[in-house]
Amino acid sequence: MQNQYDVLVIGGGPAGTTIGSLLAEQGWSVCLLEKAHHPRFHIGESLLPLNLPILEKLGVLEQVAAIGIKKYAAEFNSEVTAPAQDIFYFAKAVNPDHPFAYEVRRSEFDEILFKNATAKGVATFEGVTVNRVELEQPTKKVWATTHAGDTLEFQCRFVVDASGRDTFLAKRFNIKQKNPHHQMAAMYGHFHAVERRSGQDEGNISIYWFEHGWMWLIPLKDGMMSMGCVCWPAYLKSRQQPLNAFFLQTLQQVPEVAARMKNAVLASDASATGNYSYRSSQIAGKGYLLIGDAYAFVDPVFSSGVFLAMNAGMKGAVYVNALLTAPAQQVQLTRAFEKTIQQEMRAFCWFIYRFNSPTLHKLLMSSDEKAQHPLKQKMKAAVISVLAGDACNQQNKQALLLFKGLYFVMAALDFKQHWRFLSFQRKQNKVLLAELK
C-alpha cells in the first residue's frame, strides 16, 4: 500500500469527497480515510438549489437526480398565524437560475460522492479510523486502525479534517467550543406511509413550528419520509419514556402532522442528539484545514449543512491547491478563506438564531404574495435566496437589510413578548444535555 501523499483527508462524507475529488483533478495525490463502510445511514437529506452547480462540477449531477426527488420549495406551517401556510418557491429567488434542488437518501448520496472520488483518482479506504496525527514537521504523519485491528501509517504534506461531528482535530487541539447563542436538541427517524403533498409540491420540505421548537418532513424518492423534531434542550431532557414513544408523542402535538401520519409506521428506531451546535476557534493552521461539520455546525433548519460542507470543500480545494503551490502565502490565503466561510455561515446564522422567535415567525408567515407591495416582494425574494443557498449574493444585500430592519421594528413594537423569548432562549442555552445515542 502506498503511504505517501500530498493530501490526506479524514472523513468520506460530502465535505471530504468534494475536496478530495477536486484536489485529485488538479494533479495532487490524495488519500481519503473513512471510518465506516458505504452505504451508511446519515440524517440531513434535503439539498439546496446551490448544491446543484457543485454536483455538476463534480460530474455526479445525473446520478444524484436518479436517486432524488425534486424539491421546488420550502413550506412553512404555523398554527398561530394567518395564513397558516406559506410556500417559498426557489424559482422566485433573486437569481432564479436554480429553481429546484433534490431530497436524497444520504446513504445513497454519500456513496455516489465516495465512488466518484475513487474514480477521480483519490486513494479511498473504508473501515479505517484515524486515531493519531503529528503535524509539527513539514512531512505530516497520520496513524489509523482498520476494522480488523491493523495499524496503518501515512505521510503527507497536508491534512484535511472532514470528519464531521467527530471533529477529530478540533477535539485534539481543544478548540471546539459550544455555541453560546444557539442550543437545541433533535429527534429523528424514517417513516413509511406518511401523507405527501400533491403534484409539483410532492418533494417540498415541510416545516412546522410548535410549542417546543419545530419539525421537519422530508419526502424521499422510495416512499419513505424523513421526520424530525428540533426542540429546546429542556424539553428533550424531560423525557421519561423510551425515545420512540417520546418521539411519536411529540409529532402528535401538531394536528396536521398527526393527520399526515395516520397510517405511518416508524421504519427503525428513532435517534436523538443534544446540544449539537458548536464551532471551532480556528479553521486552519500550518499543514491542516477543518471543513464542514469538522469545523462547525449550527442547525438543520434551512437544510444548509450539506451545502455548507460541499461549498467549503470546493473552496477548500482552491485554498489547499494555492497553499501547496505557494506555502509562503499561508497567512494571506488562510485569512481570505476563513473570512469567506465565516461570512457564509453568518448569513444563515442570523435566521437560525431567531427562527423560533415569535417576531421572525410572524414576519416569515406574513409574506403572502397576493396584493403585495413590490418592496415586500423583494424582501421575500431575498429570503428565498438564503433558503436556496445564495445567502451572500450582493443583489440580496439591500433587501435583506430591510427585512432585518423590519424584524427589529416588529420586535420593538412587541417588546414584552420579544424580551420573554430572549430570556427563555438564554436559559435554554445553559441547559446541559449530553450527546445522545
For the stretch 73-91, pLDDT in tens is 999 999 888 788 999 999 9
Q: What is the pLDDT of residue 415?
A: 93
Which one-letter amino acid corresponds to residue 267?
A
Q: What is the pLDDT of residue 1?
A: 62
The CA angle 332-292-228, to the nearest 5 degrees, is 150
Q: What is the pLDDT of residue 433?
A: 60
Q: Is 237's pLDDT higher than 70?
A: yes
Please state, as a whole number, how many other Cβ atoms lie within 10 Å of the Cβ of residue 302.
24
**Residue in 16, 48, 44, 18 with CA at minimum distance from that of residue 32:** 16
Q: pLDDT confidence of 431, banded at 50, 70, 90?
A: confident
For the stretch 270-281, pLDDT in tens is 999 876 789 999
Q: How far is residue 17's CA from residue 383's CA, in Å, rounded to a whole number?
A: 30
Q: Check if the beta carbon of residue 168 is closer than 8 Å to that of residue 295.
A: no
Please state, as a whole number, how many other Cβ atoms lie within 10 Å of the Cβ of residue 352.
21
Q: Is 72's pLDDT higher than 90?
A: yes
Upstream peptide bond of 83 is cis (omega within 30 degrees of 0): yes
Beta strands in 259-371 (DSSP E): 265-266, 271-274, 278-280, 284-285, 288-290, 296-297
Q: Is 436's pLDDT higher than 60?
A: no
Q: What DSSP character marks residue 434?
A: P
Bridge partners (DSSP) of residue 113 are: none
- C-alpha cell belonging to residue 316: 477548500
Q: Check if the beta carbon of residue 8 is closer than 8 Å to that of residue 160.
A: yes
Q: What are phi and psi of 86, to 5 degrees?
A: -140, 135
Q: What is the mean pLDDT of residues 55-76?
A: 97
Residue 250: exposed, middle, or buried by beta-carbon count in 10 A (0-12, 13-18, 19+)? buried
Which one-letter amino acid corresponds to residue 244?
N
- C-alpha cell belonging to residue 189: 427517524
The CA angle 197-108-320, to the nearest 5 degrees, is 115
CB burial readout 358-378, b (16+ within 10 A) else e: bbbbbbbbbbeeeeeeeebeb
* Strand bridging mode 30-34 / 4-10: parallel
Q: What is the pLDDT of residue 63?
A: 98
Say which residue, 391 or 242, is predicted with more confidence.
242
Please report, rounded to a whole number, the percentage of residues in the chain having pLDDT higher than 70.
97
Q: What are phi and psi of 84, to 5 degrees?
A: -85, -10
The DSSP result for 114-156, as a single string, is HHHHHHTT-EEEESEEEEEEE-SSSSEEEEEEETTS-EEEEEE
Q: Is 102's pLDDT higher than 60?
A: yes
Mean pLDDT estimate for the chain: 92
Q: How far is residue 142's CA from residue 155's CA, in Å, rounded to a whole number?
A: 6
The pTM assigned to this predicted structure is: 0.93
Q: What is the pLDDT of residue 22?
A: 98
Q: pLDDT confidence of 178, banded at 50, 70, 90?
A: confident
CATH number for domain 69-103+183-276+356-437, candidates 3.40.50.150, 3.40.50.2000, 3.40.50.2030, 3.30.9.100:
3.30.9.100
* Strand bridging mode 225-231 / 284-285: unpaired
For the stretch 305-316, pLDDT in tens is 899 999 999 999
Q: What is the pLDDT of residue 209?
A: 95
CATH architecture of 4-45+62-67+104-178+278-348: 3-Layer(bba) Sandwich (3.50)
Domain boundaries, the chain: 4-45+62-67+104-178+278-348, 69-103+183-276+356-437
* Cβ contacts of 322 within 8 Å, gap of 6 or more: 329, 333
Q: Is 353's pLDDT higher than 50?
A: yes
For residue 215, the surrounding DSSP H or E stretch is strand 213-219
Q: What is the mean pLDDT of residues 268-291?
A: 91
For the stretch 182-195, pLDDT in tens is 888 899 999 999 99
Q: How far is residue 262's CA from residue 395's CA, in Å, rounded to a whole number?
A: 44
**Residue in 430, 436, 350, 414 with CA at minimum distance from that of residue 183:** 430
For the stretch 326-337, pLDDT in tens is 999 999 999 999
For the stretch 366-393, pLDDT in tens is 865 554 677 778 889 999 999 999 988 8
Q: What are phi and psi of 152, to 5 degrees?
A: -115, 145
Q: Is 143's pLDDT higher than 70?
A: yes
Q: What is the pLDDT of residue 266?
A: 96
* Strand bridging mode 205-210 / 213-219: antiparallel
Q: What is the mean pLDDT of residues 18-32?
A: 98
Q: What is the mean pLDDT of residues 118-132?
A: 97
Q: What DSSP character marks residue 435?
A: P
Q: pLDDT confidence of 220, banded at 50, 70, 90?
A: very high
Q: pLDDT confidence of 299, banded at 50, 70, 90?
A: confident
